[in-house]
């Protein structure tokens, strides 16, 4: 039986927790006087358990509300056929040193050209290896970074809206955190895209290796 590849809730919770602390600090809703460094403050709140419980609820709500299609759009910036499986045979496989493209072309001759056919063939290959550790791990990594990217995007939007509303009421709030969230989102986006491509290519590499072994 395949292991659970969505076992990263604790990572999401800690991510949301730290970002919420940044928002609270920037909004001056948390008093850091006499609390030492920001990390001391975070440790105190984390030790109390209240902060992590709240962050866990927020993270689960945000992650649960978002549909997979919306998450994919936030990561790949495409509405139609965003996933790398739609171009894995025509583009990605050519640039992976582990994959012999001639062998690939021979095995699946003719290789699909249409994006939807590429994705269908790739998904068929994926189903052949439900317990392969390399595939499971790369799948988990992609899903985790995809969810982190989506949460980062939404937290950025939440802070931006809060920033605008407070400015309208004449309350001075730092714009610095918007830039921090933007950089964070872009780094996570790049990581998620890289993990996604690695995942789809691992499936093909595994299938070719399995064919040679057998």
The tens digit of pLDDT for each residue in 154-185 reads 888 877 887 788 778 877 767 777 888 889 99
**Residue 180: per-residue pLDDT:** 85
Measured between alpha carbons, how far is 6 from 115 in angstroms, rounded to an integer?
27
Query: 62 with 151: CB under 8 angstroms?
Result: yes
How many other C-beta atoms lie within 10 A of the C-beta of residue 206?
A: 19
User: Token match 């290519």: residue?
Assistant: 201
Helix 176-213, helix 68-76: angle, nearest 10: 100
Q: What is the pLDDT of residues 109-143, one digit of tens each?
A: 889 999 999 999 999 999 999 999 999 999 999 99
CA distance 32 to 151: 26
Q: Which of 148, 150, 144 is nearest to 66 (CA)?
A: 150
**Residues 43-102: tens digit of each pLDDT:** 555 554 555 555 556 666 777 778 899 999 999 999 999 999 999 999 999 999 989 999
Distant-in-sequence, close-in-space partners of 59: CB < 8 Å, separation ≥ 6:
9, 12, 13, 15, 16, 151
pLDDT confidence bin for 1, thresholds 50/70/90: very low
pLDDT score, position 210: 80
Evaluate if residue 213 carries a pLDDT over 60: no
Q: Tell me the whole-structure pTM to 2 decimals.
A: 0.81
Residue 54 to residue 60: CA distance in whole angstroms: 10
Tokens of 12: 């999401």
Angle between helix axes 50-65 and 133-168 (nearest 10 degrees) is: 100
Least confident of 4-8, 27-31, 41-45, 74-78: 27-31
């Amino acid at each position: 039986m395949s292991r659970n590849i969505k076992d990263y809730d604790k990572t999401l919770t800690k991510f949301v927790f730290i970002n919420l602390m940044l928002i609270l600090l920037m909004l001056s809703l948390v008093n850091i006087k006499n609390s030492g460094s920001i990390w001391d403050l975070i440790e105190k709140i984390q030790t109390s358990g209240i902060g992590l419980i709240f962050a866990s609820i927020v993270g689960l709500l945000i992650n649960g509300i978002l549909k997979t299609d919306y998450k994919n759009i936030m990561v790949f910036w495409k509405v139609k056929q965003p996933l790398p499986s739609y171009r894995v045979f025509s583009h990605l496989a050519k640039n992976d040193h582990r994959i012999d493209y001639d062998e690939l072309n021979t095995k699946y001759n003719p290789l699909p050209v249409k994006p939807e056919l590429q994705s269908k063939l790739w998904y068929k290959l994926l189903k052949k290896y439900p317990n392969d550790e390399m595939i499971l791990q790369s799948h988990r990594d992609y899903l985790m970074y995809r969810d982190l990217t989506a949460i980062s995007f939404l937290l950025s939007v939440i802070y931006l809206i809060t920033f605008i509303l407070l400015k309208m009421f004449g309350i001075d709030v730092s714009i610095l955190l918007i830039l921090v969230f933007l950089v964070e989102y872009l780094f996570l986006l790049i990581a998620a895209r890289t993990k996604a491509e690695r995942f789809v290519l691992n499936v093909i590499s595994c299938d070719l290796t399995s064919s040679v072994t057998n």
